[in-house]
A and B are shown apart, each in its own frame.
Chain A
Amino acid sequence: SYVLTQPPSVSVAPGQTARITCGGNNIGSKSVHWYQQKPGQAPVLVVYDDSDRPSGIPERFSGSNSGNTATLTISRVEAGDEADYYCQVWDSSSDREVFGGGTKLTVL
Chain B
Amino acid sequence: QVQLQESGPGLVKPSQTLSLTCTVSGGSISSGSYYWSWIRQPAGKGLEWIGRIYTSGSTNYNPSLKSRVTISVDTSKNQFSLKLSSVTAADTAVYYCASMVHNYILSYFDYWGQGTLVTVSS
Contact = CB atoms under 8 A, between A and B. Distances in A.
B49 A45 contact: no
B60 A95 contact: yes
Contacts of A96: 49, 60, 62-63
A42 B113 contact: yes
Contacts of B105: 31
Contacts of B37: 97
A47 to B, nearest CB: 10
B96 A42 contact: yes
B66 to A, nearest CB: 10
B2 interface: no
Report the contact-size class of chain A (Cβ under 8 Å from the partner).
20 to 34
Contacts of A45: 108-110
A51 interface: no
Secondary structure dominating the interface of B: strand
A48 B113 contact: no
B47 interface: yes
A47 B13 CA distance: 38
A11 B115 CA distance: 28
Interface string A91-108: 000111111111000000
Contacts of B113: 42
B31 interface: no
Nearest to B96: A42
A7 interface: no
Please name the 3 residue pairs, one residue from A and one from B, whose CB atoms are nearest each other, closest first: A90-B107, A97-B49, A33-B108
22 contacts: A31-B105, A31-B107, A35-B47, A35-B109, A41-B114, A42-B96, A42-B113, A44-B112, A45-B110, A48-B101, A48-B106, A48-B110, A49-B108, A88-B47, A90-B102, A90-B107, A94-B63, A96-B49, A96-B62, A97-B52, A97-B107, A99-B49
Given A42-B115, A48-B108, 11 more contacts: A31-B107, A31-B108, A43-B112, A45-B109, A49-B106, A54-B110, A97-B49, A97-B52, A99-B49, A102-B46, A102-B47
